[in-house]
Amino acid sequence: MKAAEILEQLINEAERIVFFGGAGVSTGSGIPDFRSATGLYNRQQNTNYSPEEMLSYSFMVTHPEEFYTYKRENLYYPDATPNLAHLALARLEANRQDVTVITQNIDGLHQAAGSKNVLEIHGSMQRFYCMKCHRDYPAALVWEGEGVPLCPPCGGMIRPDVVLYGEMLDQRVMAEAQNAIRRADLMIVGGTSLVVYPAAGLLQYFRGKALVLINRDPTPYDHTATYVFHEELGELLDEAIQ
């Protein structure tokens, strides 16, 4: 059987499905990943700081101008639209009662595709708020502006609602993700190297019937999977999810 036929059969037999995805889900939308040869972490930068440092909470607080310059130059993709993977997962949720998407991505493309039950464990660059008074602000205000965005009423700095290096993951979101995985009888993992913790550790909560890994390269969890596919993620999901 072809990979798509196997995946389609597993989906048809499952009652509760979880999809857990990483940066590879959005590369088909023109958003680069982090760790590949052409990814964000391997780009030549005109700075002495590493990408990890510039994406940290401490850097945001101590170097806000450089923080926002880096964000606008490297994490803003206004023309990105949902690809085959996002659309297939939205279609899956629309056709079934119990589908949860857990994403490490911060681009909001799952929601743009139509998925509603989405857990963003690293937050979203579509949401911003004031660090002082916690007033919410639209993303366009920040992305289309210049310099450090400040809250007009209180003067506090406006920050993205994402988890930066040096910050804890949202424990409520993590608990919801763990519960969804525990309940699932099919878990599909796609577009992630499974080397970033604690996110990668979510797989330990799966006790269901079938674990499917779809990734371009091998992962540390391949030996635990029921099936491992190296097909192109969007094409495989699109063919398997009718």
Domain coordinates in residue numbering, the chain: 3-29+81-122+168-240, 40-74
Q: Average the pLDDT over each of 82-96, 113-127, 177-191, 196-210 and give the range with the smallest value.
A: 196-210
pLDDT of residue 41: 52
- Give the percent of the chain with pLDDT over 70: 95
- Decide if pLDDT at 5 tops 70: yes
Segment 210-214 mean pLDDT: 98
Dist. CA 180–CA 207, nearest whole Å: 11
Q: Give the pair of three-digit tokens for residue 119.
A: 């857990």
Looking at the DSSP bridge assignments, the partners of residue 129 are: 136, 159
Q: Which amino acid makes up residue 115?
A: S
pLDDT tens track for 13-26: 999 999 999 999 99
- Decide if pLDDT at 43 tops 60: no
pLDDT of residue 1: 78
* Contact call for residues 225 and 211 (beta carbons, < 8 A): yes
CATH code of domain 3-29+81-122+168-240: 3.40.50.1220
C-alpha distance from residue 61 to each of 55, 159, 195 (Å): 11, 10, 27
pLDDT of residue 227: 98
Q: Give the pair of three-digit tokens for residue 181.
A: 């995985």
- Select the more confidently predicted residue: 32 or 80: 80
pLDDT of residue 49: 87
pLDDT of residue 47: 73
Catalytic residue annotation: 122
- Decide if pLDDT at 150 tops 60: yes
Question: Where does the pLDDT of residue 38 fall: very low under 50, low under 70, confident under 90, or very high at 90 and above?
Answer: very low
Contacts of 128 (CB under 8 A, 6+ apart): 136, 137, 138, 139, 141, 142, 149, 158, 159, 160, 161
